[in-house]
Structure 1
Amino acid sequence: MRTEKLTIKGMCFGEVLWDNLPTGRQLGGAPLNVAYHLNKLGVETLLLTRVGEDEAGDDLLQRCASLGIPTGLFQRDPIHPTSTVEVHIDKNRDVTYEILFPVAWDYIALGEQELQAVKEADFLVFGSLSTRNQVSYETWKLLLPFAKFKVLDVNLRAPFYTPERVLELLSHVDLVKMNQEELGMVATWMGLAETSTDRMKVDAIMDKCCVDEIIITYGAKGAVYHVQSAGFSYHFPALPVRVKDTIGSGDSFLAAFLAQRCRKDKVTSPEEMLSFAATLSGFITQSEGACPIYHAATLNRFQWLHDLEAFHINGAS
């Protein structure tokens, strides 16, 4: 694996925040995490979001700039505060969140600069959480017609979603990423029986919502990439790693996948896309927080060590 400067441009829309972890404060928000990794992977990616005119907002802007996340589309809100989230990690390393409402990113506004950025981007990434408030939801609706390739990251954080809203979002996108639990919930809303297989659930969503590409993540069991127009479903296993926390692992997976899926200089196979995504996701899972510092050499070494371990295991069997 290597990182390189690619000719594609991305844009992410939605929440940025401070995750208050047991070990201290960390940057968070799925769109921010995706934007961070895309920029690390050589994909110039802007982030349209909003923070408060407060100390937490000042700190967030400074931290993003230091990490190489462009802040040109970070709006400042004089009324609503910068978002913070209380993060709880249990003994099994599973994560739960306490998300405040309302906060600055619930009030993302639209101007000519924002519209132009979407027009110039090769893809637009957003999450279902970012549309929980009517103001940001209306901004999202106005941006959508100008996006070339629309990517939805389903993030069902109770109580900030409704079946109607999520099904609407699904009906406007080209690619969806969700986990197995979220797949089950969406399928239930659509009236599918609990005994339906995951493939049946995916096919139903594709047919009803006209989505061509869906990625279902299964944690330690990997991910499956479904493409209706090509008629295939491709499973790729997760790398065996020692889990530190799972925060942001799905976001890094999506970023790495898009960095390969949307490149213009060559045709990338599903195996290459998913292998790249699984490698970065594995590295993030064994790291602390969603946006650890890393470079091409870091990922190259990580992949090399796992390839070497796999060689020894296969050679011994």
Structure 2
Amino acid sequence: MLTPRCLVVGEALVDVVDGVPHPGGSPMNVAVGLARLGLSTTLLTRIGDDACGRMLEEHLVREGVALTAASLRVGERTSRATAAIGADGAAVYDFDIEWTLSESAAIAEAAEADLIHVGSIGASLEPGANAVHAMLRTVSSRALRTYDPNIRPALLGPRTAAVARVEAIMAASHVVKLSDEDAGWLYPGRRGDDVLAHVLALGARMAVVTRGGEGCVTAIAGAGEPVTRRASPVTVVDTIGAGDAFMSGLVYGIVSAGLIPELTADVFAPDADVLSALEGAADAALASAAVAVSRTGAAPPRLHELEQSSVL
């Protein structure tokens, strides 16, 4: 499948950095990353009809991301996140967010998609998270499902229920990406390899834990021990959107290698070629993140930048 229809479901918001508003939200960043890499991408989200909402609409138009009609909310305000950037380039967020989603719209959009990515606040914050879960229960078994929980503890409510919601989506997903911070919050005290094994046991076929500048660790169902992939050295400007660029690069690597049929097959039995291609997708993800952190803001690479990266 050369041109899959990609649907991204989750929050779009305005990141306020040093008092300046920027388009943001993990799922929206992933959608932009996919579009920049040449994939046909639609975003199902929630945007108000205020000035911030108009800024997000204009951003999506410029980036070639289609926005569903159900995403536009008359009379509602657009969500915000205020980011403080530390000396190490890492961002800490203060959220002012609402997340509602039409269950019928989500199910209808997903029915037309070959690849569905869900993530972050939109998959965990009620009441919209209920629609995301309902959508995942209805999608075609041949649609690739990817998930990045991008944990924001302050927005998740009681811990036990939050972990259960996250694990329910992991169980419905073929590919799961966690940061090391996500893994530490979900499974405190557990080794990285144990976390990856647990995610695969829930039902995922590929699980990845990112480790910032150290790279990532990937685990593939039926493939034995996890594999560590090293990141190339890069001068970090800031890390806003780094995980999202990793995610869009990973999805692009999977799609460009033609791996959707293998990952969505009723029985997943990867041969050496499939395993090699999946590890190559992890390299594409690392390359994408390296480009993003080398410049200001959530700025995932375009295809020519990814192809020129020294990681590939």
Question: TM class, shorter-chain normalised?
Answer: 0.7 to 0.9
Paired with 1:169 and 1:39, the residues of 2 have a C-alpha distance of 24
2:158 is the alignment partner of 1:154: no
**In the alignment, what sits opposite 2:8?**
12
Contact 1:257 1:274 in 2 (8 A): yes
Alpha-carbon shift at residue 246 of structure 1 (Å): 0.6
Query: Which residue identity is paired with 1:58?
Result: R
**In the alignment, what sits opposite 2:270?**
none
Change (3 A) 1:121 1:232: farther
Contact 1:46 1:73 in 2 (8 A): no
2:54 is the alignment partner of 1:58: yes
**In the alignment, what sits opposite 2:269?**
none
Change (3 A) 1:72 1:43: same
- What TM-score results when the alignment is normalised by the length of structure 1? 0.83
Equivalent positions of 1:1-317 (< 5 A) are 6-22=2-18, 24-73=20-69, 75-101=71-97, 103=98, 106-111=99-104, 114-144=106-136, 145-147=138-140, 148-161=143-156, 162-188=162-188, 194=189, 196-207=190-201, 209-263=202-256, 265=258, 269-291=277-299, 295-301=302-308, 303=309
Per-residue CA deviations over 1:207-234 (Å, capped at 9, x if unaligned) read 2x23232110000000111112333422
Residue 33 of structure 1 aligns to a residue whose secondary structure is helix
Change (3 A) 1:115 1:226: same
Per-residue CA deviations over 1:238-265 (Å, capped at 9, x if unaligned) read 1211001011111111111111213465
Paired with 1:36 and 1:20, the residues of 2 have a C-alpha distance of 18
Query: Which residue identity is paired with 2:191?
Result: T
- What TM-score results when the alignment is normalised by the length of structure 2? 0.84
Paired with 1:224 and 1:174, the residues of 2 have a C-alpha distance of 17
Paired with 1:53 and 1:198, the residues of 2 have a C-alpha distance of 43
Contact 1:49 1:73 in 2 (8 A): no
Paired with 1:296 and 1:165, the residues of 2 have a C-alpha distance of 34
Paired with 1:23 and 1:79, the residues of 2 have a C-alpha distance of 24
Paired with 2:42 and 2:242, the residues of 1 have a C-alpha distance of 20
Paired with 1:171 and 1:271, the residues of 2 have a C-alpha distance of 21
Regions of 4+ moved over 6 Å: none
Whose radius of gyration is greater, 1 or 2? 1
Contact 1:47 1:74 in 2 (8 A): no
Residue 107 of structure 1 aligns to a residue whose secondary structure is coil
Contact 2:9 2:118 in 1 (8 A): yes
Paired with 2:124 and 2:258, the residues of 1 have a C-alpha distance of 37
Per-residue CA deviations over 1:28-60 (Å, capped at 9, x if unaligned) read 111111111111111111110111121211221
Residue 196 of structure 2 aligns to a residue whose secondary structure is helix
Per-residue CA deviations over 1:64-104 (Å, capped at 9, x if unaligned) read 10121212345222343101110000112121001113x3x
* Mean Cα deviation higher: 146-155 or 41-50: 146-155
Change (3 A) 1:128 1:295: closer
Q: Percent same amino acid at aligned positions?
A: 24
Paired with 2:303 and 2:171, the residues of 1 have a C-alpha distance of 37
Contact 1:51 1:75 in 2 (8 A): yes
Paired with 2:38 and 2:112, the residues of 1 have a C-alpha distance of 17
Structure 1 unaligned regions, length at least 5: 189-193, 308-317
Query: Which residue identity is paired with 2:291?
Result: F
Contact 1:179 1:217 in 2 (8 A): yes
Paired with 1:136 and 1:154, the residues of 2 have a C-alpha distance of 15
Residue 141 of structure 1 aligns to a residue whose secondary structure is helix
Contact 2:123 2:133 in 1 (8 A): no
Structure 2 unaligned regions, length at least 5: 157-161, 260-273
Aligned length: 289
Q: Aligned-residue CA RMSD in angstroms?
A: 2.3
Alpha-carbon shift at residue 20 of structure 1 (Å): 0.6
